[in-house]
Structure 1
Amino acid sequence: MSLRVFKLMILRSLRNRGISAFVLALPLPRMSLGGGRLPTKLGLYPWTLSLWSKSSIPIRKVEYVDANGIHQIISDPKLLKAAAGCFGLLGIVTHLTLELQPMSYAVMRPEKPDINLAIPPLKPEDVPFALKKTFTPEQLAEATRRFEERVEKDYYSEFFWFPFQQKAWVHCWNPVDDQRGAEEYPPTFEIWLQWIQGWLGGVIIETEFFKAIPGRWQAEFLATLSMAALPPQFFGKHDTEIKTSMPDALHFRRGTQNMRCRDMELQIPIPGRKDDPSKPDWTIVQRAWWDAINLVYSDPESPMRLTLELRIMADSDIIMAPQRGNKHGTASIEVLSIPDAVSDGEWQPFLQLIADKWMSYEKIYGQELNVRPHWAKEWFGLNFGGIPARKYLKTVAYKKEIPEFRDTLKKIGEAQGWGLADIKRRFSNDLWDDLVLDTVQT
């Protein structure tokens, strides 16, 4: 794809979201939006703003209309740490200047291994009886080695498990510069098919018949369809290896947003190893993964009826990013379900059990782990470490970051002619009044 065509695609995508953007790119023949596991370590400025579900874009400049109706520009790297992740408090963003990376390509080899070999358990008793299989110590050791290699070294590391399934879905890859053999993925017909699948799934889960069947049947039905739709499939030319451009690799699934879901995601810091704190201890990922699976099997009608997902993410310099300060990286882990699990009154208690498990690892690892919920996922009404969610965010998770964020916004305003009181009156809401602007008088 030419830079011109790619740039037009970016602009059209942003404009569809009501955003205008000037895209300034380095003078190279092919460019990419980047993303994946280590976006914060690539490029001049390591802070990012997510505009798509899985890609992150380095911000060079933010243009916006402030609380007084005046057009403003921010390009100072220190101020962008707040401006590029300001939750709408800054003002109405009108233009973004983004830095693109040289176009690269991915060779994807998605797999469907046995769940015991995808993210191996720490000990055999961690595996629910229904999922137990006999593997030799050598097989498990090799699976553990491969898992650690993937999460530590691969650019993109993603793991899925659908309830009550014997197999997982593993999607890990690295970029390459050589474009020979690369093709558009998904092809046009498959994009259309994926949109239909997402739309049809949304229709099915809203029918009275589907709501009436047992939760276990709902989960099994959705899991079977989902695993069948993911590569490698039983047919098609993309069964074993897919080479495509970086943007296509990052967005290989389309149309899933057509299906309503419920979703809680926590960002769990990777701790340092006890024998060598300079190295990551990946056992926390195995522990969190299997703790969630065991909670699913503890209830035959488990409220988690869509999927357990895990991605490894890098540190971030965005002040209010959930991954900030996690030098060894972050286990971004989430549980998803359908609205019927909520209407049955089962979802919220299940989320609390999951949160309690994932918040309990400080005692095991003997070090502080600042677990944070994803801002845009479900956390309201939960307790974290026995503390109501909003209070936890303010007094624990972002205790240091909130004053820094507020002070940085204040610096921006002092330089551009507005104050915190102006944005509190114009752009804030109850949540931000409590978390960030509680000391501001209007």
Structure 2
Amino acid sequence: MKLLKTKLMRNIALALPMAVAPTASVVVLDSLGLDAGFAKASAQDKRVTRKTPAISQAVYKKLGDPNTMMNPEKEGVQPDFPGALAALKKIESRDAPSWNAYEKATLYNYMAYAYYSTEDFNNALKYYKLVIAQSPQIPLNLETATLYTVAQLQFVVEDYKGAIGTLNRWFKQVDPMFVNADHYALLSQAYYQDKQFDQSLSNVQKAISMYKEAGKTPKENWYSIEMAIQYDRGKNKEVVDILETLVRLYPKQAYYKQLAGMYNMVKKEQQAAYLSDANYVAGALEKETEVLNVAYMMLGEGYSYRAAKIIEKGIDKKVIEPTSKNLETLATAWRMSQEVDKSIAVMKEAASKADNGNLYALLAGNYVDSDQNKNAINAGKKALSRGGVKRMDQLQVVMGMASANLGNWADCEKYFNQAKKDKRSEAFAKNWIQFCQGEQKREESLASN
């Protein structure tokens, strides 16, 4: 409301002619970021006229002092709206009952303007409505301009149903040549606030279309309204189109982040990954979940080294917490990047922080793959000690292979005998048991010769 007040004071004319009541149409339009073209043009529209009563010289004279208070002629003198209101109220109670409709409308317009200037919007609305109530004994352009002012003030006080009704009345009354995209946009906003989304969408799309046809750039908040409605309807493709427009016309980090998320929703995973990585590089992603999400997408697209570097940097910068799960992801990324030593070091740390032995079981497998068989046995034993291993048969296979590589055939046979109890590893384990038994016999035979 302070912004409205500031813009109002900046736009008040220093001397308003008594014959034209000081409606706030242009001021409110400016305050809402809308086009005030209609309010200016309508006052020049002479095509439609009404036979109205005249304003007497006596009325001009009585309204002169309040007008001067609101629009002081001396430079540096501030408007006295409370004083003007006090004077106008006396005139209303003492003189106005005998005035004609046009004279009353002029008084009410001044009072509405004074109330508006003191940010008493409810009373401003009351008196602007009283101006309209004098129809048809007032000029059509005054009635039409006041209607639009009322609609805007209803919007300000959050009477959206009232604003919708008044705006639709205004649309029927105003000459189409004075209707522009901003008027449709205001109606769209009122419908949106009133949760009448079909009407809101059609009006904001009309506004956008009119601007495009005129070679102008549609306003950012118009696209925001359209996008919000389409998103609520699950029209993800349309939302993507709007966001692509927004990042082109109004490039903001928030739009890039939203677009990356929407690419995922429309199965454009590669575009989502590239854009998310760009957002990360630009410093737009600051939360742990956001950074991790980029790393996951990089992994999904096969860029495991990039994923590892993102997580590693996130941990170093204390953006990502070095939990067991996050470290496991980092270890997986390093392993997929063929960085075996880095993978093992990180997996070892992850396993030490885990609540069960499952990561030690995975670590044992990593050790076997890198021919560190003693370490594999030790990790396997820790996994067995902690419990909670998801695939015990696989751990037994790993420990059996490590034992075989170390030439511990008895242990090899023991672990594979355990593994074969699970049907998923039965055939594989039996083959290894035969191999272990054969190697053991071969060694015994060599030793006896």
Q: Do Structure 1 and Structure 2 share a fold, with TM-score over 0.5?
A: no
Rg: which structure is higher?
2
Q: If the length of structure 1 is used for normalisation, what is the TM-score?
A: 0.26
Identify, as 1 or 2, the structure richer in helix.
2
Q: If the length of structure 2 is used for normalisation, what is the TM-score?
A: 0.26
